[in-house]
Amino acid sequence: MRTIITILIVIAVIVGAYLIYTAYQNQQEQAALSSLQTVSATRGNLTATVGATGVVRANQSATLVWQTNGIVDRVAVSPGERVEDDQVLADLAQTSLPQNVILARADLVEAQNALDNLRQSGLSREQALQALHDAQRAVIEAERALDPFEDDAYADKLDQAREDVVDAQEALQNAQEDFEPYQDWAEDNQTRKNFEDRLNDAQRDYDEAVRALDMLEIDSDVAVSNLSIANAQLADAQREYDRLKDGPDPDEVASLEARISAAQATLDMASLKAPFAGTVTEITVKPGDQVAPGAVAFRLDDLSRLLVDVQISEVDINRIARGQSVSLTFDAIQDQEYHGVVTEVAQVGNPVEGVVEFVVTVELNDADEKVKPGMTGAVNIVVEQLENVLLVPNRAVRVAEGERVVYVLREDAMEQVPITLGSSSDTMSEVVDGSLQSGDAIILNPPQFFGNDGPPFFRR
């Protein structure tokens, strides 16, 4: 009896321990489940982007420096002023200019006067006149070469040659007809050989008659063509002579024009001009300053277009194309997004710390006065727009045994679901394959480490 009581007590202890363990386990499961964050898998639109950072720059920029020595006489612009192409920005005092600049004015006047006189006077025309005489002689020689082909003797020769061709053709045809009955006879048959020899002789006579006629006709055609060419060359020579007989020598004109350009370029060193239309963004010179060649005076920027150059890795470059939309944000401009478009994609990459990167240029479409060259901006290039695709949050995706998975909460238990991803944005990814269904409760914070028995409440 005592043994039975002992057994019952042991059984009661075991059952009690089991019930206590089960209650504790259920309590742990409920605590774990209550800590999980979930979101439903949904279908929606996805904008895939490639991100990078870059610095804003103007469409065109130039640092203007002095080309000669002198004292600044006038600064004609102010910072932020809009200027036109070739507009004077500053001048040097004439009395402070070096000797070569002062002498350039006299050289300019002298060369300009010489050019004016050259254009007004009668210049040498011997070369053009000689070409005209040569062309006239060529026409006369071509006419003489054509004369033999225009008399009766040539016409008689031509008629006779044509008759010879007709006669030879008839003889050849007769020889062919005479030979035809013996064509299939043995080649060593004497009768066949005699008729074949007659046929060969007739063929040679016909070929020679045709060649003779061709030579007569070709010689005539060549003479006619030579006369046409000579007449055309005469017309060209006459036009050239008419053009030059009262005009200046082109070489002298070119030489004087080069002198004028050189003198003007030297004189232009006494002032600074805008090389393009833009905005004066920096002035480092004041009236009275003593300057030397290379001294910086202005910075000029074309702010009509603002650009951002970004570096895109070789992994993503083939997804980038001209015309793609771009969104931009700047640390210096809070709570404002700008828009742009890809305008240039480099064809050649550059290695940067072991990674090949390509320069992509973006133009801002809606830049305002807040956006300034030199600002750093975050650039997101829209490479793909997807509609009605199954989406999962990027933060929910894990890698298990070499494949991407998400954990789904089903019937109060976690289930590992393998997935294949397509395009991605900063926060969401497209699911292109797998058993994940729209509406599934995706766990955003699954346990990172599991025991030897796998994740709690785990099902595959």
Output the pLDDT for position 15: 64
- Which of 225-234, 280-289, 407-416 tops mean pLDDT? 280-289
Report the pLDDT averaged over residues 39-63. Answer: 90
- Whole-number percent of the chain with pLDDT over 90: 33
Output the pLDDT for position 247: 66
Output the pLDDT for position 386: 86
Cα separation, 238 vs 248, whole angstroms: 17
pLDDT-based confidence at residue 20 (cuts at 50, 70, 90): low
Output the pLDDT for position 34: 54
Phi, psi of 161 (to 5 degrees): -65, -40
Output the pLDDT for position 452: 40
Instruction: Choose the weakest-confidence range: 94-103, 114-123, 132-141, 251-260.
Output: 114-123
Cα separation, 276 vs 62, whole angstroms: 9
Output the pLDDT for position 374: 93
Output the pLDDT for position 250: 76
Output the pLDDT for position 54: 94
Mean pLDDT, all residues of the chain: 82
Q: Are the CB atoms for 267 and 101 separated by under 8 Å?
A: yes
- Whole-number percent of the chain with pLDDT over 70: 85
pLDDT-based confidence at residue 440 (cuts at 50, 70, 90): confident
pLDDT higher than 50, residue 366? yes
Report the pLDDT averaged over residues 423-452. Answer: 78
Output the pLDDT for position 105: 80
The dihedral sign for the CA sequence 152, 157, 162, 166: positive
Q: Domains of the chain: which residue ranges?
A: 1-35, 49-57+302-386, 126-244
pLDDT-based confidence at residue 128 (cuts at 50, 70, 90): confident
pLDDT higher than 50, residue 458? no
> What is the CATH architecture of 49-57+302-386?
Beta Barrel (2.40)
Output the pLDDT for position 178: 79
Output the pLDDT for position 55: 96
Instruction: Choose the weakest-confidence range: 60-69, 193-202, 280-289.
Output: 193-202
Output the pLDDT for position 83: 96
Q: pTM of the full predicted structure?
A: 0.53
Output the pLDDT for position 454: 43
pLDDT-based confidence at residue 328 (cuts at 50, 70, 90): very high
pLDDT higher than 60, residue 25? no
Output the pLDDT for position 224: 74
Output the pLDDT for position 455: 46
pLDDT in tens, 380-389: 999 888 889 8
